[in-house]
Amino acid sequence: MEFGLLQQQMDTQRVLRSADDNMGDIMVVGGGISGIQAALDLSSAGYKVYLVEKSPTIGGKMSQLDKTFPTNDCSMCIESPKFIETDRQPNIELMTYCDIDSVEGEPGNFTVTVLKKPRYVIEDSCTGCTVCVEYCPVKVPDPFNQDLSLNKAIHIYFSQAVPLVTYIDDSCLFLQDKTCNICQTVCEKNAIDFGQQAEKVKIKVGAVILTAGYETFDPLPRNDYGYGLFKNVVTSMDFERLLCSTGPHEGQILRPSDKKHPHKIAWIHCVGSRQVTPGGNSYCSAVCCSYTQKQVILAKDHLPDMTAKIFHNDIRSYGKDFERFYQRAQKLPDVHFIRSYVSVGSEDPVTGDVSIRYTTPDGVVEEFFELVVLSVGLAPPKDAPRLSKVFGIELNHHGFCKVDPFNPLQTSRPGIYTSGAFQGPMDIPEAVMGASGAGAQASFMLKSRRGQLSEERVYPEEKDTSEEEPKIGVFVCRCGANIGRVVDVPGIAEYAAGLPNVVHVEESLFACATNTAKAISDTIRDKGLNRVVVAACTPRTHEPLFRDTLREAGVNQYFFDMANIREHCTWVHSKEQEAATQKAKDIIRMSVARTGKLEPLDEFLLPVDKTALVVGGGVAGMTSAHTLAEQGFETYLVERASDLGGMANKLHYTLEGMDIQSFVKELKKKVYRHPRIHAITDASVTDVDGYVGNFTTTVKSKGRVRTIKHGAAIIATGASEYKPTEYMYGQNDKVMTLVEMEGKLAKQDQQLLAAESVVMIQCVGCRNDDRNYCARVCCSGAMKNALKMKALKPEVDIYVLFRDIRTYGFREDYYLEASRKDVKFIRYEPQEPPQLEALAEGGKSFVRVTALDPILGKKLALDADAIILAAAVIPSAGSGELARMFKVPLGPDGFFQEAHAKLRPVDFAAEGVFLCGTAQYPKHLSETITQAYGAAGRALTLLSRDTVVASGAVCAVAARDCVTCGACISVCTYGAIDFVDTPRGKKAQVNAVLCKGDGLCVSKCPTSAISLSHYTDTEVFNQIDAALELI
């Protein structure tokens, strides 16, 4: 035997032997949304993951949020299915209430010492019944509710917590002076163990992903704006809890001083952010503008007569759909956005109202508000310095994790990766795509270990209920207040109990909470239910979770239906409570009628073609293609131009000063030379056929047509720079775009460098009626070019005419630097755009720019030798056609539309197709790289599997009724139906593997011989009849 092979076998054996000996592939440290996503991706790609979290549950900051912008999705509702997935995933070893003590070793072979803090509760014994919580006499402020309500010394962190077990905090009387142990007395499971000690556990892993997250800025030390002095000054995180139905007042906005509804609320932006004063952070926190708008919209919904004033600096609506979200908040009645610095005056001793002084065109005014919300920024985790020491990683000058702009997921220590807000302030989707990307990189070096430590999930055997009468259980979810506040849930439950075949009805606060899902499983078993209706939210997000719950209970997962009484009822008829209650009853009646007729179905396993196709050969496409190829997958890279590189070919340096050209050159070389990457240039996709795991795409290049079979596809077709029609562009050679200026600066263009005065005009061709979005990159681009120009020619005068400066995150540093280097910033209003006039005086030609300065209230005239237009980033040509071929949608602005704005930022609703780069939305190079790794990471979860599961809801022909007319065959373009010879002659037959379940054939069959499982005529008839039963 060859030595290499022997060595490999020995390695395998060693790995297997130590599988139960604290051995894993990857450790993810931090159980917020980024850590959860990384753990889920890696575990489903065949790696064993340790997920370590310092608090008693996973969930992180996202679990504290009420809603998420810009869709106002309920934050817990979209995050908690991931908790359950984490809990049920056998390849994730969850360690909560743990710190990291040390990290030794090297990439591929780390030993991490985990410090398990004592919960004083035996996790495996606790059932989460909370009897102990009832009896515990000690009331303490609840950290989950920002200390705005009380909880007990022993409690569960929040009701959807994973693991759903209690923990005991320091305020416990026993821990203080052994005066009480009532919890021990009442616990029937003997789960309380005061003898627990902190314990060190050594775990061996190959790589680490550090997702330590952030803290919100604490305004207490400086008493910012009276916080800590005046009761009715709260932080935005406090307000988030006030808004939330699981918050201190069940979703009633009550102010702290007198627990009354405030009717006049002020928000103050940039608290702790964009401050150079001691105790503040100089960077922009990137999320506060939009979350404030979210809070205003939600507060207005709670309190329709509320007056709100939002005191802001620049409004930074730089993300996808943020601009529209801002407009939505602006348009609300009695909501006023005021651009002004403010100071807090005093607290009215009688009313508790707080006064704010701000500037208006008529001077400074002082006004009282009933509640003041501080939009606090994001700060590094408190223990970041300790993490830096323990993990041996560097921090940047802001105290966040130091990363390489060309690989923002790599820390300074090899083998340790990072994602999420520990990299710097960011929004949820960036944290999620970074997680998938970090997963892809961490798993790269462990690719040979894939699948060795992982195990498949085992479900209980499915019971045969074919002989049973339908026994339907109906679970009515209150969804906190989302459903419960609008409709009469007890009345609905009582009604459901009277419907045919319904044998059990139950209400729950959150049907999707871990304990509820488990309780539903238990109830199904205990009550012998064979069908289940959950009346809650949309099946589009929650059906998989509840189907899984049925499988856990040994019931076929197709015996399930969701009655959507939230999206289709309480959320859209919130002002008509009676009609909404009636409608909810109707919806449930329809669902029960359907469920009675449901049939058990089996799913299919389809093979996965382990080849990838990446469309678009820019930095995004090349990065994903390279990541996939390095992991061993054949990858086709299709590029429209005759060379790879895309937009980056025109860019020269990043804001941080990195050399883009040498980076792109190096990347192109790696891609062109990679044996598993097949780069096809001058190419276009002309046809796409197939489905997840089995696509067939036709690519045309230089007259040659080839067909590529692949299992996954990544769309990375980028974006273009808008060619302005405004500001004399194309008519005067002094006028150029930002990208053109960059090219001139890179080659030190003498004409440009001769300019004594440069005027940059921002927001050209966007944030207008034609393009109602912010192009995200131009403000930073202006800083970059202005600083470069200043470096080449310090005496040049530069004026930036802007609407809002949107240098979000650490990019703010460069805005500060530009201001310090005497770049002048002059704001203009969109209704008064700058006017240009080409002039020649004294033998010198120049352009005179006239703009109205809203602060000075007068017109300024600037004579410029160069005019730089920050031209919009627009969707690349041909996006629409490509979208149609891949059956994926475009958003209203023409960019590709991801499956979910927050939690599925690189997926499409259509399985097997992924998205990255500026094809999704304008973004900076480092963001593109992160997203490209992310898309590759998501594609890896598919390509690393041998099979994908296909739905059991497919068509079948009852041969007896088939009249061989061929109507079904002619409409099925999937070719899933064929005639076969039977004893009764030719009959149509469905190949279930090819059937996609659209059911078009069913509506064409004259004899009803063909049927679509799960959407049969009988099932639909029952729904129709039930809908109209009461007329």
Binding residues for other proteins (CB under 8 A): 71-73, 301, 538-540, 564, 566-569, 571-576, 579-580, 582-583, 586-587, 590, 689, 884, 887, 889, 891-892, 897, 909-910, 953, 965-967, 970-974, 996-1000, 1002-1008, 1012, 1015, 1017, 1020-1021, 1023-1025, 1027-1028, 1031
Choice between 986 and 996, CB closer to other proteins: 996
Closest by alpha carbon to 627, among 854, 337, 351, 933? 933
Choice between 86 and 1016, CB closer to other proteins: 1016
Choice between 122 and 1027, CB closer to other proteins: 1027
Choice between 381 and 905, CB closer to other proteins: 905
The answer to whether residues 643 and 664 touch, using CB atoms and an 8 Å cutoff, is no
Choice between 758 and 913, CB closer to other proteins: 913
- Helix H or strand E segment including 562: strand 560-564
Return the biggest CA–CA distance within the chain. Answer: 100
Choice between 395 and 1027, CB closer to other proteins: 1027
Shortest separation between residue 1015's beta carbon and other proteins, angstroms: 6
Choice between 561 and 865, CB closer to other proteins: 561
The encoded tokens of residue 495 equal: 């009604």
Shortest separation between residue 290's beta carbon and other proteins, angstroms: 15
Shortest separation between residue 605's beta carbon and other proteins, angstroms: 21
Choice between 70 and 618, CB closer to other proteins: 70
The answer to whether residues 384 and 398 touch, using CB atoms and an 8 Å cutoff, is no
- Give Cα separations from 637 to 370, 412, 600, 614 (angstroms): 59, 31, 42, 5
Shortest separation between residue 513's beta carbon and other proteins, angstroms: 20
Choice between 263 and 324, CB closer to other proteins: 324
Residues in the chain: 1031
Choice between 312 and 902, CB closer to other proteins: 902
Choice between 426 and 977, CB closer to other proteins: 977
Shortest separation between residue 585's beta carbon and other proteins, angstroms: 11
User: Three-state SS for 673?
Assistant: helix
The answer to whether residues 372 and 234 touch, using CB atoms and an 8 Å cutoff, is yes
Shortest separation between residue 539's beta carbon and other proteins, angstroms: 7
Other beta carbons within 10 angstroms of residue 777's beta carbon come to: 24
Beta strands (DSSP E) in 878-1000 are 913-915, 947-950, 955-957, 977-982, 985-990
User: Three-state SS for 560?
Assistant: strand
Question: Read out DSSP for 65-98?
Answer: -SEETTTTEEHHHHHHHHHHHHHH-TTEEEE-SE
Shortest separation between residue 976's beta carbon and other proteins, angstroms: 10
Choice between 11 and 1025, CB closer to other proteins: 1025
Shortest separation between residue 832's beta carbon and other proteins, angstroms: 30
Shortest separation between residue 332's beta carbon and other proteins, angstroms: 12
Shortest separation between residue 73's beta carbon and other proteins, angstroms: 6
The encoded tokens of residue 533 equal: 């209706």
- Give Cα separations from 295 to 265, 305, 308, 379, 521 (angstroms): 11, 15, 11, 20, 36
404, amino acid identity: D
Shortest separation between residue 455's beta carbon and other proteins, angstroms: 33
Please tell me what DSSP assigns to residue 959: G
Shortest separation between residue 192's beta carbon and other proteins, angstroms: 42
Those residues with Cβ within 8 angstroms of residue 217's Cβ, 6 or more apart along the chain or in another chain: 271, 272, 273, 281, 285, 376, 377, 378, 379
Please tell me what DSSP assigns to residue 643: S
Helices (H) and strands (E) in the chain, counts: 25, 52
**Percent of residues in the chain assigned helix, strand, coil, to nearest 5:** 30, 25, 40
CA distance 872 to 773: 9
Choice between 580 and 766, CB closer to other proteins: 580
Cis peptide before 163 (omega within 30 of 0): yes
Shortest separation between residue 579's beta carbon and other proteins, angstroms: 4
Choice between 133 and 910, CB closer to other proteins: 910
Shortest separation between residue 88's beta carbon and other proteins, angstroms: 25
The encoded tokens of residue 709 equal: 């079979």
Q: What residues pair up with 841 in beta bridges, in sequence order?
A: 844
Shortest separation between residue 1001's beta carbon and other proteins, angstroms: 8
* 928-932-934 Cα angle (round to 5): 115
Closest by alpha carbon to 590, among 563, 616, 610? 563
Closest by alpha carbon to 563, among 536, 542, 581, 544? 536
Token pair 């932006």 is found at 269
75, amino acid identity: S
Q: Residue 213: what are its φ and ψ, rounded to 5°?
A: 70, -145
Choice between 856 and 1031, CB closer to other proteins: 1031
